[in-house]
Chain A
Amino acid sequence: MDLENQKRVKELSDQYGAENVIIVLGAAESEAAGLAAETVTAGDPTFAGPLTGVSLGLRAYHICEDEMKSEVAEQVYEDQVSMMEMVLDVDSIKKEMSAIRSEHCKF
């Protein structure tokens, strides 16, 4: 994850409390989504950014996961996300995200 974004995630978690922050991801690949999720839960796996060694344990979801999809107005989802949903390997993304959450999420 971009180092600047790591910094912003850390600052927002400090400001509002990690239990009040949810990360919504839009990565096109399960590997990339998993890496970002790992960064905001277990810490930066590349040991490069501000989240190195910082296990925030945030709740992280991909926009195509049912938990997120149900939060979005149907028409908005149709207009903004449905096309991508058609081309993504959503099953693999769901599997990756839920594995990371069950291992590292604290909330």
Chain B
Amino acid sequence: MNSVIQATGYILAHTPDMLVHNGTTQTAERAANPQSEYLQQMPRYLRNYQQAIEYLPNQTYIGNLTPEQLAQIDQPWYDKKAEGAVRFGKFGEIMPQDEFLLLMQSCDVFDLVWLSKTFVECTKPRLSSHPLIGEDILSKIKDGVEQESVERYVHVEHAEPLYHLGELVGFVKRAHDVDINLSAHVMLENLVSKATSVLALLHLIHRAGIDKSAVSYVIDCSEEACGDMNQRGGGNFAKAAAETAGLTNATGCDIRAFCAAPAHALILAASLVSAGTHQNVVVTAGGCTAKLGMNGKDHVKKGIPLLEDVLGGFAVLVSKNDGVNPEIDTFLSGRHTVGTGSSPQAVITALVTEPLDRGGLKITDIDKYSVEMQNPDITKPAGAGDVPLSNYKMIAALAVKRGEIERDEIGAFVEKHGMVGWAPTQGHIPSGVPYLGFACDEILQGKISRAMIIGKGSLFLGRMTNLFDGVSFVLRKNTGAQEECAASEQQIRSMIAKAMREFAENMMREQR
């Protein structure tokens, strides 16, 4: 029996100072050309917290605006604002940087994150009023250190500086003297990933309304690696985040597959639940500092604000079929295999039409496709085009080739079965999963019956293979079927007797 998606949680953390100091576009530029025009101009293009809150795609990510409503608003979106926008949304929240730094410290169990006394005094009261952050997390926030200590660690002890509004407010210490996998830089990236994952988990549990102890397994599908020099990607972000979020009854593991990892993880979670191994599995992922401001040079060149200033996170609860919530249909799961080939045509065939053919469905039988839901406001000025739109056109073109629609219906297909993108360019974050929250709502409301979630990943970036990767699955309306009861001994006997009778009758007919 299929498992269901019981709840979702989506969060953003607005971290403009991390964009400046930790985004790889900026750190590479600073190393190669410290006096560059881009670095000098950049501060003028940073957004403040209020602007990040009012940004229409961000409001969509946390569920205050539907993709349909966003599509009604003409692009670009960066010069418009969501009136009356608020921090908290239906699916989660947009956390400000100062509170996020405190949350990050509470996620650190090795005394690596330190913040200045004044900063902590100023920020802690606000985090304390957060509806989902309890004493278990707040009690891990340290009182703070003197500013001289912060300066010394940053300038003498190879610590990674932490800034807020341009001011040095803390640091992340290195966790080992010589191990580069435990350097301050890596520890910062990993703690950021963990903290965003924790925040997503807190929202998920709140929305699901279940007891934290009901979760028995957590799968992390972000793109970071934690470990030391003897086991660089040893893991395990999942269990680490589950610990901070209070999921005391859970264990878990990390699944890595670049941007395809969330879809892989959801299929695995669904299978674990369907098999009866676990009843409640959470798939979670935190955000990535390296990708902050990734397309910043193009944005600044075109006079656009630095839109990649938020870290993303999400969490999904996959549970035993309750007869109500949308089902993950793993039978209708697509795979890009080693032999598939890398042309877009081969990829879309493997991910979309192969599973649909298996289920006797047409491309048009899927109401909505969720692909790489990158926000076009970010990608278009960077020359990467409108990523979801390109994906929808490819699916439509395949439908034309299969004779399911006419060529002049491509536009109408894209409009009906596609969506505009709204997710930040955080790799795995936009990959198919941003729509799950809306998809569950729309299926439960009867607006749609089936959605296909597609995750694609660029494996070649790791230089282990030239291959591409991708998996897909269908989320569909619950059939209302309840768990089948095991057949009784009497029922089995009567089934065997019936089969024997039919067999004997057939034989007698053939002999005649």
Contact = CB atoms under 8 A, between A and B. Distances in A.
Contacts of A80: 341, 343, 345-346
Interface in A7-58: 28-29, 31-32, 35, 46, 48
B401 A83 contact: yes
B393 to A, nearest CB: 4
A48 B348 contact: no
A29 B384 contact: yes
Interface string B326-362: 0000000000000001011110100000000000000
Interface residues of B, number: 22
A91 to B, nearest CB: 16
Contacts of A84: 343-345, 394, 397
B400 A28 contact: no
A83 B383 contact: no
B498 interface: no
Given A80-B341, A80-B346, A86 B400 contact: yes
Given A32-B385, A35-B383, A48-B32, A87 B394 contact: yes
Given A79-B345, A82-B401, A87 B383 contact: no
A81 interface: yes
Chain B interface helix/strand/loop/mixed: helix
A29 B343 contact: no
Contacts of B32: 48
A46 B400 CA distance: 39
B345 A82 contact: yes
B396 interface: yes
B384 A83 contact: no
Nearest to A89: B385
Contact of A83 (B297, B348, B385): B348
Interface in B355-389: 383-385
A31 B383 CA distance: 6
A29 B383 contact: yes
A81 B383 contact: no
Contacts of A48: 28, 32
Chain A interface helix/strand/loop/mixed: helix
A87 B400 CA distance: 11
B397 A87 contact: yes
Interface string A46-88: 1010000000000000000000000000000001111110110
A87 B396 contact: yes
A29 B385 CA distance: 7
B390 A87 contact: yes
Contacts of B343: 79-81, 84
B456 to A, nearest CB: 14
A28 B385 contact: yes
Nearest to B386: A29
A86 B407 contact: yes
Interface string B389-416: 0100110111011000001001000000
A21 to B, nearest CB: 19
B284 to A, nearest CB: 30
Contacts of B383: 29, 31-32, 35
A80 B472 CA distance: 21
A81 B345 contact: yes
A93 to B, nearest CB: 12
Nearest to B390: A28
A46 B344 CA distance: 27
A48 B32 CA distance: 9
A21 B393 CA distance: 32
A83 B341 contact: no
A82 B410 CA distance: 15
9 contacts: A29-B384, A31-B383, A32-B384, A48-B32, A80-B345, A81-B345, A83-B394, A83-B397, A86-B400
Given A28-B385, A87-B410, 9 more contacts: A32-B384, A35-B383, A48-B32, A83-B344, A84-B344, A84-B397, A87-B394, A87-B396, A87-B397
Listed from nearest, the 7 A-B pairs whose CB atoms lie closest are A87-B393, A86-B397, A80-B343, A83-B345, A31-B383, A29-B385, A83-B397
